[in-house]
Amino acid sequence: MKRVITVSREFGSGGRTIGREIAEKLGYAFYDKDLIERIAEESGFSQEYIEEHGEGSPVRNYFAYAFVGRDASGNSVGDYLWRAQMNIIEELAEKGNCVIVGRCADHILRKRTDCLHVFIHADMEHKKERIVNLYGETSVSPQKRIREKDKTRALNYKYYTDRTWGMADNYDISLDSGILGEEKCVELIVGLAKEL
Amino acid sequence: MKRVITVSREFGSGGRTIGREIAEKLGYAFYDKDLIERIAEESGFSQEYIEEHGEGSPVRNYFAYAFVGRDASGNSVGDYLWRAQMNIIEELAEKGNCVIVGRCADHILRKRTDCLHVFIHADMEHKKERIVNLYGETSVSPQKRIREKDKTRALNYKYYTDRTWGMADNYDISLDSGILGEEKCVELIVGLAKEL
């Protein structure tokens, strides 16, 4: 039995919906990236972390000084939020029985043996159709919205994990939700979570 | 029902064995990379192809002229073998009901709707153990043998397909055979081949 499922996903692939359905079927808690971000921002922990590190870390990043919005340790607000989120994800996994969507959770929890790491992707046609149905048309083309969102995800992933986002090797199972359908993806993942 | 299963795999992941078992369970023909290479080398087709192209193709590759072992069209022997193999893979898929391991078959057959494209990977520890059990120890470390083999595969894939080998997006389903076990991989793929 896998107690924690991490779901990484391309924008428009339906990965978040699949994650929510997995959580429902398994009776697990469900945390998506927005929820984790809110917990991190609201938590006293994130403040404490900022204060602790504000006093100066022995490790200094020379490149970081070239950028604005960093403290004496070279940490940006984004870095603090990342650290806070990382700690929250570790705590959630320790409590167990949950599905976590996004936030590099696959990397953060890679050393735990009670996790199943999932990646959901789909071809561009499926993703375009899905985001237009879900979020409507905007002045930016669906293809461009998808490319920009996923480029940000890939860069963020690279920056914090030093791994390449979307490589099959990062995950226990990767599924094309366009070819398989959302229902089949849910069924396969729930089955694996129970059996492994 | 998917009539053709392509299996791409990391060296040592057991992908070839998984492919053979899928073929047995589905009653499909089984073609691995060695078999396809032999067919290509023995086929009259590959000779014809070489002769046809030896007369000069309208498309010329300027960079290719910088390298030795190329003809007037800039094609190397490797390119001819690649073309011959590509045609054989297309013919095998047309005949149908088969499992094809390696040889960029996922890319060559990407436009067919009757194929299931699979990628099998595993963590380094599983792969090391597997190749030592299977092929024995050599003077080169298992890790180095795996890295070199997969580097060649990745470069070859990039050269002929312009895609990145091992990206989840290239395949319908990618599985970690170390975490899931070979038997579970076979079961999942056979199930999908029958249902889709």
Task: Please report which residue ranges of A72-140 form alpha helices under DSSP H.
Answer: 77-95, 105-108, 124-135
**DSSP strand pairing (B173-176 vs A173-176):** antiparallel
A49: pLDDT strictly greater than 90: no
Contacts with A154 (C-beta within 8 Å, 6 or more apart), sequence order: A164, A165, A166
Give the whole-number percent of chain B exceeding pLDDT 70: 83
A43: pLDDT strictly greater than 90: no
Whole-number pLDDT of residue A81: 77
Q: What is the mean pLDDT of chain B?
A: 86
Nearest to B2 by CA among B94, B119, B115, B100: B115
Query: What ipTM was assigned to the predicted interfaces of this complex?
Result: 0.85
Q: Which member of B168, B175, B188 has the closest CB to residue A167?
A: B168
Using CA coordinates, name the residue in chain A closest to B191: A188
Whole-number pLDDT of residue B120: 98
- Pairwise CA distance, residues A121 & A21, whole Å: 16
Torsional sign, CA A171, A177, A180, A185: positive
Whole-number pLDDT of residue B39: 75
The C-alpha of B137 sits at a distance from chain A's nearest C-alpha, in angstroms, of 25
A55: pLDDT strictly greater than 60: no
Interval A94-123: pLDDT, tens: 998 999 999 899 999 999 999 999 999 999
pTM of this prediction exceeds 0.90: no
Give the whole-number percent of chain B exceeding pLDDT 90: 65
The C-alpha of A123 sits at a distance from chain B's nearest C-alpha, in angstroms, of 8
- And the tokens for A171? 């995950």
Number of residue pairs across A and B with CB atoms under 8 Å? 57
Asked if A173 and B173 come within 8 Å (Cβ–Cβ), the reply is yes
Whole-number pLDDT of residue B61: 38
Residue labelled with tokens 């995800």: A153
Contacts with B136 (C-beta within 8 Å, 6 or more apart), sequence order: none
A92: pLDDT strictly greater than 60: yes
- Pairwise CA distance, residues A114 & A125, whole Å: 35
Q: What value does the mean pLDDT take over residues B39-52?
A: 62
The C-alpha of A6 sits at a distance from chain B's nearest C-alpha, in angstroms, of 15
Residue labelled with tokens 């590959």: B46
Q: What value does the mean pLDDT take over residues B42-70?
A: 49
Identify the three-state secondary structure at position A87: helix
Whole-number pLDDT of residue A112: 95
pLDDT bracket for residue B57 (50, 70, 90): very low
pLDDT bracket for residue B40 (50, 70, 90): confident
